[in-house]
Amino acid sequence: MSNTDIEIVVEDPTAPEADSPAVASTGVVDVVVSLLLLALALTLGWDNWRTGAAWDSTGPQAGYFPFYLSVILGAASLYGLATAFLSRKEASEAFVTRAQLRRVMAVFVPTLLFCLATQFLGLYVASFLLIAAFMRMVGKIALWKSLLTAFVFTAAMFVTFDIAFDVIMPKGPLEAAFGY
| pLDDT tens figures, 104-154 | 999 999 999 999 999 999 999 999 999 999 999 988 999 999 999 999 999
Q: What percent of the chain has pLDDT over 70?
A: 97
β 94-97/22-25 pair status: antiparallel
Give yes or no for residue 74 having a pLDDT over 60.
yes
Element (H, E) at 48: helix 26-51
- What are residue 9's phi and psi, to 5 degrees? -110, 125
What pLDDT shows up at residue 11?
A: 76
Q: What is the pTM of this model?
A: 0.68
By C-alpha distance, which of 116, 117, 131, 122 is closest to 168?
Answer: 122
Yes or no: say if 52 and 63 are a contact pair by the CB < 8 Å rule. Answer: yes
Quick one: how many helices (H) and strands (E) in the chain? 7, 4
Contact call for residues 172 and 122 (beta carbons, < 8 A): yes
Q: What are phi and psi of 2, to 5 degrees?
A: -85, 165
For residue 68, the model assigns a pLDDT of 95
Name the pLDDT band for 8 (thresholds 50, 70, 90): confident
How would residue 83 be classed by pLDDT, with cut points 50, 70 and 90? very high
Q: What is the pLDDT of residue 135?
A: 94
Q: How confident is the model at residue 4 (pLDDT cuts 50, 70, 90)?
A: low
pLDDT above 80 for 12: no
Lowest mean pLDDT among 19-33, 129-143, 149-163: 19-33
Residue 54 DSSP code: S
Higher pLDDT, 17 or 35: 35
